[in-house]
Amino acid sequence: MPEIRFPRSRKVIIIEHPLLPLHIKEMMAKILFNNLQVPSISFASSHLLSLLAAGRITGLVLDCGHLETTVLPIYAARPLYPQLQTTPLAGARFSSHLRALLLLFGTYLPPPTSLSAAANIPVATRSTRVPEEVLTEAVIEELKTRICFVGEALDMSDSNMQSPPADDSMEMDAPPSDFAMSESDFSRVSADLQSNMSSQQAPESDYSVVSHSQAISNLDRPQPGETHLQALAKLYMRHSTATDLRIRVEPPASQQVGTGRGTLIVPGWIRERAAEVLFEGGDVDESSVAEVVLESLLKAPVDLRKTLASSILVTGGTPMLPGFIPRLQTELLRAVSPNPNNPSSSWSPNRRASRPMSYERYSALRSLVPYFAILNHPSPPPPATPRAAASAGKAPAFSPAALAWVGGSLAGALKSGGVEITREKWDEAEAHTNPDESMEQPMDPNAHTTYNLLPDWTRTPLPVGAPPAVIRSQPAIAPASPQTTVGA
């Protein structure tokens, strides 16, 4: 008979996000200890386990998931949490951007009412705009995983491809006051979108679209009667070689009278350029995927930058898009390389002092250009330094989404997880915690509670010279009487 394994005989390793709230950790610990009776649990960072799966203990890990993209440097198996960087540009923003592009530029063929109509009525006559009911979450997820990919970066070195100076006619209105919307210029609902949707009697979309693109050239400026989004679509269509695809989808409820299923026509340039929203950085709160890597390197110690830049690991579900990792390396090199149109990039003693200077944000990282290397790059470019040659493409061929799970399996097999919390310690901490204590009364920070057992990576020691934290754990002391001696 096969051996029956009970939960109470198995130790558990929880792969967690570095910024996971402490109350969620306590909830998981209560379920595992009180309900499943596991002997012990360990919390381990997903970034560290992903790096262990690649056979390294030092590197810069980029995790691009569904809600956000997180970059965490790790040195000698020790995560450097003060240098952690995040951005909301991730899978959810990519999904909403893809949906908005399909609503604007996609084509939908409703099912014909009869077999004779399917043979006699031409396709151009039956084509309509894409209804919002067709683009369900399942359809968007299928489009992302099956037909979308990341195109190569457009060549910005040509003078015709440079962005023209912005004028008043190209300015977009501010986004609506919605907590789900961001203030990024690359992911806001513009006034052109609203006017375009209203002119065609279509419902307005609350999904993000690229409204300001750095790739708009002088030749691609909106012509009379053409919106900015249409000019951007024309630019992408001219530089795209991807073919249009037809996907069978369920028709909306109002069109169930037809025979068969509807057809969604996805333009090829949308398949290729829908992921541009991840690489077009916006304001300080919505940095691009490449910018969060460079921001983390700027915050890292100077003597660790070359080591971290030559050991970049990309994990998560969104990087499974074909072409994501090569495009990331291209964007890193583009952001760090000097701008030929910037007079401050090449300093000369004969330059006039009155000449305007442009600030380059990542000029301090320019010396790292020969060292940039991604461990799981599918086809790395020829390395420029021996350090880059020893790292580029050297990681095992695991899926980026499975690296954390592979690392957790290795940590469990080698018994090298994080700090282990046994059930005895947990029961002892729960026994000392009074559940009837009023929450209004301050808690003693030295009390042996369950919160003290759980690791919290957001609590870092104060820097040298910072004032100590004031802990108000005692009630206010009444003023001393006249007979009381000070210091008695």
Q: Each residue of 47-66: b (16+ CB within 10 Å) or e?
A: bbbbbbbbebebbbbbbbbe
- Domain ranges for the chain, please list them: 1-53+397-436+446-457, 56-89+287-340+361-395, 91-163+173-277
- Backbone φ and ψ of 246, nearest 5°: -115, 130
Structural tokens at position 64? 């691009």
* Alpha-helical regions (H) of 182-223: 191-199
- Cα of 90 vs its chain's centroid, Å: 3
Closest to 314 measured CA to CA, from 375, 380, 370, 373 = 375
Separation of alpha carbons 177 and 181, rounded Å: 8
Q: Which residue has the tokens 């442009």?
A: 358
Integer-rounded Cα Rg, in Å, for the chain is 28
Work out the angle between the directed axes of helices 228-238 and 91-105 (0-180°, nearest 10). Answer: 100
Tell me the pairing of strands 245-249 and 262-266. Answer: antiparallel
Which CATH architecture does the domain made up of 1-53+397-436+446-457 adopt? 2-Layer Sandwich (3.30)
The contacts of residue 104 (CB under 8 Å, 6+ apart) are 193, 196, 197, 205, 209, 229, 233
CATH fold match for the domains 1-53+397-436+446-457 and 56-89+287-340+361-395:
yes
In DSSP notation, 303-346 reads GGHHHHHTSEEEESSGGGSTTHHHHHHHHHHHHHSPPTT-TTTS
Q: What is the DSSP pairing of strand 312-315 with strand 59-64?
A: parallel
**Residue 397 φ then ψ, to 5°:** -80, 55
Q: What is the pTM of this model?
A: 0.75
Which CA distances in Å does 460 have to 437, 440, 457? 28, 26, 7
Q: Tell which phi-psi region holds residue 296, choosing left (phi > 0), alpha (psi between -120 and 50) or beta.
A: alpha
312-323: pLDDT as tens digits: 999 999 999 999
Q: For residue 7, what pLDDT is reported?
A: 62
pLDDT of residue 359: 63
**Rounded distance, CA 391 to CA 108, Å?**
46
pLDDT given for residue 234 in this prediction: 85
Does residue 296 contact residue 62 with C-beta atoms inside 8 Å?
no
List, for the chain, all residue ranges whose pLDDT scores fall below the cut of 50.
1-4, 157-219, 343-358, 437-443, 445-448, 469-488
Single-letter amino acid code for the residue at 116: S
CATH topology of domain 56-89+287-340+361-395: Nucleotidyltransferase; domain 5 (3.30.420)
Instruction: Find out whether 368 and 387 touch, Cβ atoms under 8 Å.
Output: no
Alpha-carbon distance 303 to 367, whole Å?
12
Over residues 169-192, the pLDDT tens digits come to 333 333 333 333 333 333 443 334
**3-class SS at 265?**
strand
